[in-house]
Every structure is written in C-alpha cells, then in structure tokens.
Copies of this chain bind each other. A is one copy, B any other.
C-alpha cells in the first residue's frame, strides 16, 4: 500500500521514540562545554571539518601525528597516491590554520619539513572522538548502509511489497 521507499514501520529499527529530548538534557556523555557556541566558532568548526574531510588532510595529519616531523618527499611517499599539487595545497591550509609547522632549511638542495604544532596535536586528539565513534559503530553503519541501499533497490522495483 505504500509506494514510498520507507514504510512507517520500517523506521522502527532506529527507534526514534527511544531518544527523548530528556536524554540529551541529562546525557552524561554530553560535551563538557555545552554546545552553545559563537558564530565564529561554528564557522571554524565547519571549516575544520571541511578541511579534514577532504581527500588528504586527515592522512597528512595522521602521518605527522604518528611519525613526527617529515620532509616533503618523505611525506609524499607515505601518502602514496597524492599529487604534488595536493600535498602542497593541503600543507598550506594546515599551516595557515596553525596546526602544522613548516621549517625551511636554506640548503643547496632545498629541504623543508613539516610537523604538527601543539594545537595541531590537540586537534588530532579531538578528532579521536569521531574516530572512536567510527570504530564503535563501523559494523553497524555498514549494515545500515547495506540495508538502506537494499530498501532503495527494493523500492525502485515494481514489486513494492511491504511485509
């Protein structure tokens, strides 16, 4: 009777009823600083997420976090597949935000190395929260995605049965 991709009963898996606003109010896991932020900070957060969500920033951060200072070439080897352009561009952005420090040695063969700054390390660690979430729910998310895609496929087909 429902040609919709979703049936009212279907969303039961998510159990929205189980998450009342009260939960949020008294949630023990809620962030220490209540998420009431200035406009500037909010922009910065989104800006950050955009940055680290791009194709390479997180990898660069991770490499520098794991291995300390690295020079351009070394970094490029590690992040195998990155183009020189993107590595430069990515490093510039990170440097501009003060999370990566760039050191130039005035030598005959140019030498430059990069390293996380203290606030860069802080940021890397802050990202661990998301990281941990991903670990916790990796399986679940994969399953949910699969289920979602199946529903899509099923809904697309003429046989719109709804159990």
Residue ranges of A at the interface with B (Cβ–Cβ < 8 Å): 1-2, 4, 6-8, 11, 14-16, 18-21, 23-24, 27, 29-33, 35, 37-38, 40-41, 44-46, 48-54, 58, 62, 65-66, 68-69, 95-98, 101-106, 115-119, 121-123, 125-138, 140-142, 144-145, 148-149
- In the complex, the answer to whether A135 meets B6 with C-beta atoms within 8 Å is no
- In the complex, the answer to whether B102 meets A6 with C-beta atoms within 8 Å is yes
User: What is the bound-complex CA distance between A29 and B126, given in angstroms?
Assistant: 9
Contact residues in B for A132 (Cβ distance below 8 Å): 31-33, 126
Q: Contacts A97-B141, A135-B37; is A104 near B16 (CB within 8 Å)?
A: no
- In the complex, the answer to whether A117 meets B16 with C-beta atoms within 8 Å is yes
User: What is the bound-complex CA distance between A104 and B9, given in angstroms?
Assistant: 9
Query: How many copies make up the complex?
Result: 2
Contact residues in B for A123 (Cβ distance below 8 Å): 130, 133
Q: Contacts A119-B140, A138-B40, A145-B96; is A45 near B103 (CB within 8 Å)?
A: no
Contact residues in B for A37 (Cβ distance below 8 Å): 131, 134-135
Q: List 28 A-B contacts (CB under 8 A).
A: A1-B106, A4-B104, A7-B104, A15-B118, A16-B117, A18-B118, A19-B116, A20-B68, A24-B65, A27-B125, A29-B122, A30-B125, A32-B128, A35-B62, A37-B131, A37-B134, A38-B135, A45-B127, A45-B131, A48-B133, A49-B49, A49-B52, A49-B58, A51-B53, A53-B53, A97-B141, A122-B136, A123-B130
Give A31 Cβ to nearest chain B Cβ, in Å.
3
Give A44 Cβ to nearest chain B Cβ, in Å.
4
